[in-house]
């Protein structure tokens, strides 16, 4: 992963993943890019991961509000 720009509290981040290659033994190579609210690239990189063998479902929790000061 390469960190291109800093992020700050209050920034809105969007993660975009792209499958680049299917590899043997349930592995895949993915491109990972993270953009801020101005659509500026803040993180860029690739990763090789072990793909799940069965479909996965994720329930996202409600996050608490953050305040500073």
More confident residue, 3 or 65: 3
Residue 43 in domain: yes
Residue 65 in domain: no
Tens of pLDDT, residues 18-58 = 999 999 999 999 999 999 999 999 999 999 999 888 988 98
The pLDDT, as a whole number, for residue 15 is 95
pTM of the predicted protein model: 0.70
Domains in the chain, number: 1
Residue 66 in domain: no
Residue 40 in domain: yes
Residue 35 in domain: yes
Residue 32 in domain: yes
Q: Collapsing DSSP states into helix, strand and coil, what is residue 46?
A: strand
Residues for the chain: how many in total? 69
Domain range for 42 is 2-50
Give the pLDDT mean for 12-18: 95
39 torsion bin: left (phi>0), alpha (psi -120 to 50), beta (else): left
């Amino acid at each position: 992963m390469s960190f291109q720009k800093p992020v700050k509290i209050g920034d809105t981040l969007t993660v975009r993943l792209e499958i680049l290659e299917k590899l043997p033994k349930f592995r895949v190579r993915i491109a990972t890019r993270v953009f801020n609210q101005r659509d500026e690239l803040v993180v860029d990189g690739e990763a090789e991961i072990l793909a799940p063998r069965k479909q996965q479902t994720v329930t996202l929790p409600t996050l608490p509000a953050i305040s500073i000061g």
